Structure 1
């Protein structure tokens, strides 16, 4: 019990994700967050749109560039830090959350971001991802999901749909893919959201909420790989896209479709999509993004399927919980305040109760 109590000393659930991060002096422009590096992705890659949106968002966010830190792993998305005029680390395959955790703990004056892909984060990096989420480290994780390995030339990934024919699955994938938001919410992420790369307004709204969230903010961004998985999300961009996209807005009934003809209602412990005219208005779920109950958000995530019949986008959950980095810093402060046990404190430690002699 003592460990739990001391780990929460000094934490403040009223803090935001940007508390303690210095703001820039005066208005910022997009070009100030643009590096001198040539952007090198394949023509038509969704990463270009995401980069442009993030640059614009950072200018509006108005933080000092010296206090921005972008950490990436390995993959197409992981080139992201090169193209931002801010501090960045192009790190190890799948280990970006671990490196970002160290930065968040030791430098509370930084706004720490992780940029990763579906292969980098959910395959070799799956362990690091779920532990960052459960610990609730103060960082923002952007997971670019194109449902394929692009950098290594088109192998299937942990989010590829069953039957996917690739260079590594010539007869079609027999794997069952991850539902990315379900993974995050199953790890008890305090903030979980999804956006579409081409929906600049929706992505910016999600980024704003993620940046100000205190704790681990997880954002899945759906984007195409035009070379190895072209058109994978086209159904969400065509004229009838509104029949597939379920736009979540806190405090509003969940209706969608060109004329709001579809709705989400409760079904036992889960939720389902029905024709809006087949139920009473009172039966339609009113979205609550700020509930402490992760089961509701998890139920929403289960509406997604590999055929993209229904794809909720927006903020699924934004809840408050003490953060790992605040707790570690609080414990460190307590340790510094304690007096040493004597002039021979190191010797006392070495020969204390936790030692034994082997005859």
Structure 2
């Protein structure tokens, strides 16, 4: 961060015309990302935005930062290279559910496992938008799409489950229409040291319109989502009178004042505990039986890959002085062929 400079969202906007469909959730996301970057105070020239292929992957064009629109599914690999080559950069990776979890799924889980200091934005509209409406790895079973006209016969990936399975240390979730929560989690993701994954539930107005409306619509949002905040009670509902308790090993939604339930019974959110037992259960709530969790669900500490590599290289260099390539080639065991 540059404490001597104050930035506004405008400082992070490029001069490019934004080429997304009117009504696409990506408009809100890029605007909120620019506002989050301004709040963080990291200079545009110290920021890199890397993407793969897809509608969401156009985002680097609209940022006044370093950017790289790469190839399908390889954003995490290239973002890792950028961060390892220059650990001082703040690196954001933008991927859709197809780009990030299908062809890019292997890179995604290994970036998380390595704990590279990347901020991964996974924009999840449960469809392939750029290629005109095929089902994606997050499409619901039975989804009728261009490539599944009779409905999919597969169960989808749940991004949170992948992150926890890859030993992820930071996972947050938001909805494209909830700008305040999206900005909140983006700022927290950037402050986190290590891989942060932010899933933004995003609407594709053309090929999968209203797919998240059962939780995103204002009519239902208060009852079907729960905004988790560090150190605060897990409360939700139109009147904030509902909450979560543990019932054995399972979470249970209750109403304060019913069946003897008081505020003291409601769980307190702790995203920082290394034990991910509760984090997993919170992240797997789907807005149907239990409210879907938004906000920062998990944020724990672990050694960071790029810094570990930097330290290792410095240690090796201090012990093994090599001035040029010839010295390096001749330093080890050599032999002559006659």
TM-score range, shorter chain: over 0.9
- Equivalent pair of 2:37/2:187 in contact (CA under 8 Å): no
- Equivalent pair of 1:272/1:303 in contact (CA under 8 Å): no
The partner residue of 1:224 within 203, 209, 213 is 203
The Cα offsets for residues 114-146 of structure 1, whole Å up to 9 and x where unpaired, read as 000111111111111111111111110000011
After TM superposition, the structure 1 = structure 2 runs for residues 162-201 of structure 1, keeping only pairs within 5 Å, are 162-201=141-180
In the alignment, which residue of structure 1 is the partner of 2:307? Answer: 326
What secondary structure sits across from 2:84 in the alignment?
helix
In the alignment, which residue of structure 2 is the partner of 1:257? Answer: 237
- Equivalent pair of 1:70/1:89 in contact (CA under 8 Å): yes
Find out whether 1:312 has 2:293 as its counterpart. Answer: yes
The partner residue of 1:290 within 246, 256, 272 is 272
In the alignment, which residue of structure 1 is the partner of 2:226? Answer: 246
RMSD: 2.2
The partner residue of 1:45 within 15, 20, 24 is 24
Q: Higher RCO, 1 or 2 (CA under 8 Å, sep at least 6)? A: 1
In the alignment, which residue of structure 2 is the partner of 1:10? Answer: none
Distance 1:344 1:110 in 2: 31
Instruction: Select between 257-266 and 277-286 the one with higher mean Cα deviation.
Output: 277-286
Count of matched residue positions in the alignment of Structure 1 and Structure 2: 331
Change (3 A) 1:169 1:67: same
Please, what TM-score do these two structures have when normalized by structure 2?
0.92
Please, what TM-score do these two structures have when normalized by structure 1?
0.87
**How far does residue 248 in structure 1 lie from its aligned partner after superposition?**
0.5
- Equivalent pair of 1:74/1:93 in contact (CA under 8 Å): yes
Find out whether 1:75 has 2:46 as its counterpart. Answer: no
- Equivalent pair of 2:253/2:290 in contact (CA under 8 Å): no
In the alignment, which residue of structure 1 is the partner of 2:281? Answer: 299
Instruction: Select between 159-168 and 24-33 the one with higher mean Cα deviation.
Output: 24-33
Distance 1:29 1:285 in 2: 37
Distance 1:193 1:311 in 2: 12
What secondary structure sits across from 1:246 in the alignment?
strand
In the alignment, which residue of structure 2 is the partner of 1:346? Answer: 329
Stretches of structure 1 that go unaligned for 5 or more consecutive residues are 1-21, 353-359
